[in-house]
Structure 1
Amino acid sequence: MTHEAESRRAAVRRLERGTPLYRVLDVTRPKAWTRLDGDVRHAVRHGALAPSHGWLTGVHGPGWRGLWDRAADRVRETPDEARLALALCDPDGRIRQAALAHAAGRPEVLSLVAVRATDWVQPVRARALRLLREALPGASAETLAVTVPVMLRLGGRLRGGPIVELLDGLLRAGDAARVTTLLLGCRDGATRRAALSAALDRGLYDGLGLALVAAGDPDPAVQERAASAAVAADEADSTVPVLLGSRFGRVRAAGVTALRGAGRHAEAEPYLYDRSGRTRACARWVLRQGGHDPVAAYRAACTGPDVPDRAPLGLGECGTRSVDAPLLRELTERGGGRVRASAVAGLRLLDAVEPARMRALLDDPEPGVVREARRALYG
């Protein structure tokens, strides 16, 4: 048995012992909820789990599987979330349907209610969808951040159409603050992408707001789309500083590109030495559009007293082998470790590698230089 399989079985056993859901699984991972549903069903069917659902019927013992639909109202106690979760995942559709009667007002199991909204049993599916429609408009930000990612994944299921419609209504016609909350506070990248799409369609952000989203979001798709929208907003004075200050290369590249539209071509020069290759390429393009020569700028930087770390690499990206290779070879022997490593990388890009020189650099005290020399020699 794999470690993952044993971990999932252990989660079901812990749930049987009454352990709260947030201690059994990572509730922020959408797949964890659908896996739990399948794991509980598998455990019950194969005799590894025999939960008592007497709290649904008032009858404890082996007769609980004779539950009828009308028994949903015969409640003698309020179940804890572990017992409620087990019932919501039970193989018996009558148990699942009866359990839904006790899921109202229980945000901790709303993700399982969403799973039941794609159930193969029509009455279960109908009741779950009704609960979702009632719960989502007033749900807290924390509950939405857990439930919406699950709903997004469920939308692709055979019976996921109503879930898609419900989620679309929540994002595109619901409270705008909920969209903002999901975009800025949800850990799930797919959810943030959906929220951004809704925010753009509804015009919920100005250029500065979009720039802030792009600069701070770790998801590449969100960065790309938000940054493009921020540039298109034509608010360079407020958006460009935010974009250029991002730690993400593709966002800085968008900020550099925006300099051209603002007529501020010369301001792109510092980004010729950016750690992002995409940003460096955009800086070269913007400078050329403004009538400046990026190759000349690289050559001047590489011959100056304080060579920027990535100036040799940039020269290798756009220079000429016959002219620039001698300068880069010189830089492999002087300057800081990053400059020397950058010079080796530049030589490789210019196809000007001298094997003997590269072998000598394998003994360099700077790990970056050794790494680049190995790459130049062996690919």
Structure 2
Amino acid sequence: MDDTHTAAATRLAGGTPLTSVIDTSDAAAWTGLDLAVRELVRFRPSTPPDHARATGRRFWWKRNAPPPSPNPSCREPDEPEPAVALCHPDGRIREAALRRAAGLPAPELRPLLPLVAIRCADWAEAVREPARDLLRAAIPGVGPDTIVALAAVVLRMTRRRHGEAARTMLEAALREAPGPVLDALLTGGDRAARRLAYRIAVERRHFSPERFAAAAAADPDGVVQDICADGAVAGVGPETGDEVLAPLLRSPYSRVRAAGVTALRRAGRPGEAEAYLSDRSPMVRACARYVLRQYGIEAAPLYRALCAGAVIPPAAPLGLAECGARDDAALLWDLTEHPQPGVRAHAVAGLRVLEVTDVARLTPLLDDPAPGVVRETVTSLVPWAQRLSVPELRARLGTEHPRHVRVGAFRLLVAHGCPELREIAWSLIDDAEPKLRANSRAMLRS
């Protein structure tokens, strides 16, 4: 709980409406308010007002009398009063507030529903059960203006021991909810609510495959990408055109492209998968090989042709290593001298995949002008660092060398574990290169 929640609780107790004291679309604001009101009331105790009478373990309010607040002088039956009572530390008061809230007209009850959802996970069974009954009766009538805040709170409360019941009610209601209610969640700001809404939208086939494909291709949330891609692919068949597949295949997100490439099999268009054999993503390349293999097309000969062509896609050497044989290492060694840095880097990575390591042949690549090539070379040489010359590695730490060469040399020296390593690290703790400073200090601490 922070000062913001405390201030919100104080303003609520003073009569300010809920919508003015918190951001009602933020689930954390609701749970923070619940805790803050509880602490506020606990440190400002008051006896129950005279319009409440105790009978056993319960409090019952006289007809038309408002629930209590921390300020006994406040007697107006407005929205802040029941909101405070729903968060009260005394379980008897929370229970009585829920029973009173059940009699409120729908327009007055709706702003309180997120607090009712919190009470559905209350530790006290006598509070939980009335809250669940109230939410179960109210949630089918919730409109787009209320569902975003309510769903966000319900999903946040699933982290608590008794929070699943409200989630079950929410999911059941959304499966039958009008389209605008579901659409409000899909465009809302709460991530968990959007994910749930998209899952239910796929179950209900709320959108066309084209709409799901467009959402998968553009949404930055990886979970939503998977959900929408599944919804789009479910509608793919032999008659499917580019209106579904094109957005998936053009997406900047690899998991979405992978779904699009896999869908080419269902669409009966395996030839188009060949263009993705050299995709920058390993997952997309694997999906392309799978689609081709389902139609009896082996990918290795296609990769060899790509690697021997005049224009070589950067990821083609690595793709060849992923499905080729150790005999392909000769072709990859030749590509370590290719003029394109991307081809050189992927050739080195491909040799590592094939478990072909020639320390003497790889060592000159530690001076490559391309950082990516040096990074892949260092990764390949780390298991063989004991075979490297410490004086040569130490010479590469000189400031006349590029940053990536110096950083790579220090990484190999650490892997080597030479006796003078601590001396080398001490010489670099004030180096002008931040990465070297950080790495040397981390090594000395360990």
| Shared fold (TM-score, shorter chain, > 0.5) | yes
Shift of residue 218, structure 1, vs aligned partner: 4.1
Over 3 Å counting, the alpha-carbon distance change for 1:78 and 1:329 in structure 2 is farther
Query: What residue is the counterpart of 2:113 in the other structure?
Result: 110
Q: Distance in 1 between matches of 2:249 and 2:203?
A: 25
Aligned to 1:257: 262
2-side partners of 1:57 and 1:347: how far apart? 83
1:63 corresponds to: none
Partner-residue secondary structure (3-state), 1:273? coil
Compute the displacement of 1:272 (Å): 0.9
The residue number in structure 2 matching 1:12 is 5
Instruction: Output one character per residue of 1:253-306: Cα deviation in whole Å (capped at 9) or x when no partner.
Output: 121122122222111111112122111011112223334342222222223232
Assess, with a 3 A threshold, how the Cα gap between structure 1 residues 344 and 109 changes in structure 2: closer, same or farther.
farther
- After TM superposition, the structure 1 = structure 2 runs for residues 293-372 of structure 1, keeping only pairs within 5 Å, are 293-322=298-327, 324-372=328-376
Distance 1:148 1:330, change over 3 A: same
CA 1:352–1:28 in 2, change beyond 3 Å: closer, same or farther? Answer: farther
**CA distance in structure 2 between the partners assigned to 1:151 and 1:367 by the alignment:** 48
The answer as to whether partners of 1:152 and 1:191 remain within 8 angstroms in 2 is yes
- So what's the TM-score if we normalise by structure 1? 0.77
| Post-superposition offset of 1:148 | 1.0
Aligned residue type for 1:373: T
Which one has a bigger Cα radius of gyration? 2
Taking a change above 3 Å as real, the CA distance of residues 127 and 223 of structure 1, as seen in their structure-2 partners, is closer
2:177 to 158, 174, 177: 174
Q: Residue 219 and residue 196 in structure 1: after superposition, are their counterparts in 2 closer, same or farther (change >3 A)?
A: same
- What is the aligned partner in structure 2 of residue 130 from structure 1? 134
Q: Which runs of 4+ in 1 moved over 6 A?
A: 19-26, 51-54, 56-59
**Shift in CA distance, 302/172, structure 1 to aligned 2, threshold 3 Å:** same
Counterpart residue identity of residue 77, structure 1: E
TM-score by length of 2: 0.67
Give the equivalent residue in structure 2 for 1:191: 193
Greater relative contact order (CA < 8 Å, ≥ 6 in sequence): 1
Counterpart code for 2:149: V
State whether residues 244 and 251 of structure 1, in contact with CA within 8 Å, keep that contact through their aligned partners in structure 2.
Answer: yes
Q: Residue 91 in 1 paired to residue 83 in 2?
A: no
1:289 correspondence with 2:294 = yes
1:271 aligns with 2:270: no
The whole-number CA distance in structure 2 between the counterparts of 1:158 and 1:349 is: 46
Q: 2: CA distance between counterparts of 1:292 and 1:276?
A: 21
Aligned counterparts of 1:26 and 1:321: Cα–Cα separation in 2 = 61
RMSD: 3.8
**2:11 aligns to what SS in structure 1?**
coil
Q: Percent identity?
A: 41
Instruction: Give, in whole Å, the separation in 1 of the partners of 2:209 and 2:354.
Output: 40
Of 131, 138, 148 in structure 2, the residue corresponding to residue 145 of structure 1 is 148
* Contact 1:199-1:205 at 8 Å conserved across structures: yes
Structure 1: tracts of 5 or more residues without a match: 1-7, 60-66
Residue aligning to 1:77: 76
Distance in 2 separating the partners of 1:362 and 1:44: 67
Show the 5 A alignment for 1:223-234.
223-234=225-236
